[in-house]
Each structure stands twice: as structure tokens, then as C-alpha cells.
Structure 1
Amino acid sequence: MTASKLALVTGANRGIGFEVCRQLLGKGFRVILAARDLEKAKQAAQQLSPEVIPVALDVTSSESIEQLRTWLEHQHGGLDVLINNAGIYPDEGQNILKVPVHAFREAMEVNAFAALEISQALFPLLEKRKGQIINVSSEMGAWEDLHPSTSAYRLSKLALNGITLMLSRAGRGHISVNAVCPGWVRTDMGGPDAPGSVQEGASGIVWLAEQVRGTGSFYQNRQQIDW
């Protein structure tokens, strides 16, 4: 039964994260919608349902992550699903020879290290319920797709995939950890010319959240893909 499951979605005030929250509600989940700005989180939650819980979370702040962990432990005692969705796309189309190194650092900080720190902090709460971590990654971070364009984003997603594998092995028998690529969809990040809809992109994430499907795998379109 998913009716009592509690899911936390980061970077969820817009785009795929917002749509994931909407679809999770439709599946009977209790949803915590996290965004850097609390007012934006509240506005997004109001668009969905009075039952959605808005919270502030700066994914790059250790203090903010610890505040969230403490609140979750005191208010809910555990967590069933963590969806690390927050991310940035700092260097669309730029060649690795031209991308400034600070763009790599920023992408790694938000797209990879933030997901790691949040996962570390919330692991004990997930472990209580044999829950799962879902890292929203990209096929652009797969080994065979490491082209020199958009290189900061690609490298950060490659790192996130590695983090996913290591967390899955550390948590084996306790929690499930997988990565999922929502595909190129029409969001602020994906742009208006993307072939997929935000609903399609979110559906694969929600499909993974509905049921534990092993650990240490990379999914797209509800199918396992190569790292």
C-alpha cells in the first residue's frame, strides 16, 4: 500500500519536481515539497493540495539539510522515499575547452554533492522504513554519452551515477538506491523544443517510487539502461 508512504522531493516548486509531487499525490503518497525559498514552496504546494507539506531546503547548505533532518525526525519519525531532483544546467551546448572551471564546481556541488549529503543525512530515517532513494540523473552522464559539449552538466551526472552505485552498495539490505533519467522534456531547464512532456518525464520517477525495484540500477522509460 502506498497510502501511508511519505515522499520528499527536492527542487520541487516547478518543472519535473512539481509534476512528480502532483503524480505522487494521485498515487496516495503523502508529499513533502522542498524548495530553496519557503514562499515558493508554499505557493507550489497551494497549487497542488492542502495536504502537501512545503519546506525550505537549500541543498548546498549543510545547516539547511540538518534542519530538515531534525524536523523530519521529530515530526514524522522516518521517510519512505527521497527523490533527489534539485539540479542545475549551467553550460548548455558549451564545449569542454570553453567551459570555465567554476561551472564544473557549481554543477558538481548542486547536482552531485548535494544529493550525497542529503542522502547521508536522511539515510537513518529511510532505513527505519526500508525506504528508497531515487536520484534524478541523465543519460548525458552515461559513459557512452560523455561528449565534450555541455560537459559540466554531463560530468556532474556521471558523478551522481557513481554516488548512486556506491550508496546502493552501502545500503544493500537496508534501503534501495537507484537513478532515473526523465529524458529531455519541456521545462525551464529542458526548453520549449524538448520532445517530451513534463508529465512523461515525471511518470518514470513516480513509477520507481511506487515499488522498490531492487537497487543499484539506472532507469529510463521504465526500462533499465547502461551506466
Structure 2
Amino acid sequence: MTTQDTARPVALVTGANKGIGFAIARGLAAKGFTVLLGARDLAAGHAAAETLDGDVRPVLLDVTDQHQVDALAELVENEFGRLDVLVNNAGANTLTFRPMDHLPTPTEETPEDMRRVYEVNVFAVVRMMNAFLPLLMKADAPRVVNVTSKRGSLGEEGAWAGQPSMVYSSSKTALNAITVHYARAFTDTALKINGAAPGHVATDFNGFRGTRTPDEGAAVAIRLATLDADGPTGTVYEDDTRLVW
């Protein structure tokens, strides 16, 4: 372990070689973090990291692969001895696995669609938490940010607005629920766990149909990743607005 490794706070961002995750990695690097840029394709991770300033290190990470998650946790422990920030950004929707020329309706989505999307958006977050919580608890001011969506709301901002995907939206509802459960479990510690809703960001995830830039969408995650000790936990924010679920 080098002096630089112990001095800089360390952040791990999943799904960070493009889109919102890439913007989050860039923003945290600009704030002085050593950023572990998680990517399923290490070559893509290197290509992304090379375009960023600061201490950005690509790491191989498929959040659905227990072996890769465990190997990375071991690497982080050996090199840094702790993890200051975990951003669970990696996400999927039905179109990730089954391309269509339109957003699927509930009757077009299948149980297999749900399994695939939940594996990334929900189960993988539990996998990451289990693997990295011991390292987070070794940090002075640990933070977890789960990248979620307004679509996870049961109210008018969610399933009743626009044309959401049932599978994607319900996976974010589940993600919001587990965010609150984890936050409650660690409420008497320094660890803060919150959800960041980036809004309708234009990325390849949605065919670039969004109205916001990745940097605009990433800002709330960066803020929640760097909360002061008196900041909230167990909440979901879009920009500076706390969302009601």
C-alpha cells in the first residue's frame, strides 16, 4: 500500500465505462478520489479511464458474477484496506437483453425478462453490498449510492406517467426498498446509504432519447457520495429534491 493509496478516498463505481456511471467516475475523480472504474469489458474500461483526469483505475467487474465481485473485494482490501464510496450504478432493462423497436408494454414482458433485469438492478446490489460492506465499515465516512429512477415510484411520477417498462420500473421500486432497509440497519453508524435518481438522461441505455446530459444526471450521485456527517440516509433524491415513494 502506497502513501497515495492511504491518503486518497477510494470510490468504486459499477457500470462506469459509459453513460451516467462514466460521468460519476469523472466527477469523483475531480474531487480527489481514487476511482475504481468498473466495467464488464476491461478493454472498454481502459479506454474510458484514459480519457479522464485524476487517479482512475479500470477494474473488471460484472456485477452478476460472484467470482468477479469477490476477486475485486479482495483486491480492494489488499491495496487500500477500505472502501470509502460504493456507487451501484450498473443497470439493465428489458431492451438490454431483448431488443425491440419500442418500449415493451406489460403484456409483452415475460418472467424471464424480470429475472434478467432484477439480476442486475436488484440482486447484484445485494451481492455488492455483501462483498463490500466490511470494507466500507473500515472507512471514516463511508457512503453508498444506489442509482435508481423516478420510475420506481408507485405514484404519478412513476408507473402512471409516460410509458415506463413494468420490469424496469418495478426493479427500481425494489431497489428503493432495499436501500431503505440497508440504511436502517446501519443508522447508528457513519455509513450513509441513499438513492440517486438522475432523471431522463440521454444515453445508449434509452436510445439517447433523454433530455438531460450524463453530467446533469450524475450530479446528484456525486453529491450523495460526498455527504457531510449530518447528511441524510435512507432517502432518494433527484437533484436537490427529495422524492417521496
TM-score normalised according to structure 2 size: 0.87
Residue 135 of structure 1 corresponds to which residue in structure 2? 146
Q: Which runs of 4+ in 1 moved over 3 A?
A: none
Aligned length: 225
Alpha-carbon separation, structure 2, partners of 1:143 and 1:126: 31
Distance in structure 1 (CA, Å) of the matches to 2:56 and 2:217: 21
1:177 equivalent among 175, 183, 193: 193
Q: Percent identity?
A: 38
* Partner residue in 2 for 1:39: 43
Which of these residues, 103, 115, 121, is aligned with residue 131 of structure 2?
Answer: 121
Alpha-carbon distance, 1:163 to partner: 1.0
Q: CA deviation at 1:37?
A: 1.3
| Cα offset, 1:133, TM superposition | 0.8
Q: Are 2:52 and 1:52 equivalent residues in the alignment?
A: no
Task: Report deviation, 1:47.
Answer: 1.2
Structure 1 residue 50 displacement after superposition: 6.4
Mapping for residues 20-31 of structure 1, pairs under 5 Å: 20-31=24-35
2:214 pairs with one of 198, 202, 207:
198
TM-score (norm 1): 0.94
Structure-1 separation of matches of 2:128 and 2:64? 9
| Separation in 1, partners of 2:34, 2:227 | 15
Q: Deviations over 1:127-154 (max 9, x none)?
A: 1114011000001001212348411101
Aligned counterparts of 1:190 and 1:115: Cα–Cα separation in 2: 21
Shift of 1:222: 2.0
Q: 2:98 aligns to what?
A: none
Q: Which amino acid aligns with 2:45?
A: A
The question of whether the paired residues in 1 share the 8 Å contact of 2:34 and 2:54 is answered with: no
Q: Work out whether 1:222 is the aligned partner of 2:235.
A: no
Q: Where does the alignment leave 5 or more consecutive residues of structure 1 unmatched?
A: none
- 1:95-114 aligned within 5 A: 95-114=105-124
Counterparts of 1:23 and 1:222 in 2: how far apart (Å)?
Answer: 17
